[in-house]
Amino acid sequence: MVDIVSARFAVFGAVSALAVFARPAARRWPTGRQALAALGLSVLGFSGYYLLLAFGIVAAGTEVPSLIIGTIPVWMMLLGRPPGLRMAALLPGLLLTGAGIALMIWGAWSAQQGSAHGGGRFAWGIVLSLGAMASWTVYGLLNAAWLQRHTEIHAADWANWLGIATGLGAIGLWLAAGSDLAALQAQPDGLLFVVLALAGGFGSSWLATILWNVASQRLSASLCGQLIVSETLFALVYSFVWDGRWPQATELVAALLFVLGILASIKAHR
């Protein structure tokens, strides 16, 4: 798990470095303070977040961590809500989302009780997923605040700085906890590993970060957070495809409650 996370973000860093050097006329290196901000945010929003989430999925499966991460829009709305938006207006969305999460966790927890150590492992997966959720929520709020305070910084330039910081962190992570080169080369699915690292590093990291930064500069943090709904829905669909099964009735109801909760939160924001 450490290997794929490190490889993905090493690609992110490499693409970001190439983007910086490909535009010498528009190149602008960060100050020391800006570089430290990029390094800290890269841990919260990328390497640290994905590592927590990946191990959470290993321990608890795919569905529950996906829904826990899916509550990020709600937390960003609560913590980043603009002045004048009453808390009472957010209650319907919060109750619907909470009911959906509780139903999904209850169903998955019940399924884990058939094994001797399943419950403890599942609980640890939930803890890791909650840590990932908190990490990205803090990243989303701080990143949006930073970009709105520094409107002179282009969203793509900030994405490149984040990418370089993330790539450096990924190299350190791999050296500390990754597999050695011989073990990586001996993997039978090495080509798939490379493809996933390239696709994740370029599309899901570099390009997505640029688009996210553009949205963060133009929208409030609470409204921008609603964009994560699409990630959650795709993660749920992917989990069912990966498991080779249709969702159960409780999972469908939980997902429906979850989506209704997000829609209610967006309506309250308007």
**Percent helix, percent strand, percent coil in the chain, to nearest 5:** 85, 0, 15
Angle between helices 72-80 and 87-112 (to 10 degrees): 150
Over residues 119-131, the pLDDT tens digits come to 788 889 999 999 9
User: How confident is the model at residue 72, as a pLDDT?
Assistant: 86
Closest CA to 4 of 187, 251, 222: 187
CA distances from 217 to 140, 158, 206, 213, 268 (A): 12, 11, 17, 6, 22
Over residues 75-112, the pLDDT tens digits come to 887 888 777 778 888 788 888 888 887 887 777 667 66
Over residues 25-61, the pLDDT tens digits come to 556 678 888 899 999 999 999 989 988 998 898 888 8
Over residues 199-213, the pLDDT tens digits come to 999 998 999 999 999
The structure tokens 């609980």 sit at 123
Report residue 71 as tokens: 């509550």
Residue 137 — pLDDT band, cuts 50, 70, 90?
very high
| pLDDT higher than 80, residue 117 | no
Residues 6 or more apart in contact with residue 227 via CB below 8 angstroms: 73, 212, 215
| pLDDT higher than 60, residue 218 | yes
Over residues 238-268, the pLDDT tens digits come to 778 877 888 888 888 888 887 888 788 778 8
User: How confident is the model at residue 116, as a pLDDT?
Assistant: 47
Please give the model's pTM, rounded to 2 decimal places: 0.81
One-letter amino acid for residue 102 of the chain: A
Residues 6 or more apart in contact with residue 167 via CB below 8 angstroms: 9, 10, 11, 12, 13, 14, 16, 17
Query: What does pLDDT average to over the chain?
Result: 84
Report residue 134 as tokens: 């908190």
Angle between helices 2-21 and 190-199 (to 10 degrees): 50
User: How confident is the model at residue 209, as a pLDDT?
Assistant: 94
Q: Are 61 and 121 in contact (CB under 8 A)?
A: no
User: How confident is the model at residue 84, as a pLDDT?
Assistant: 77
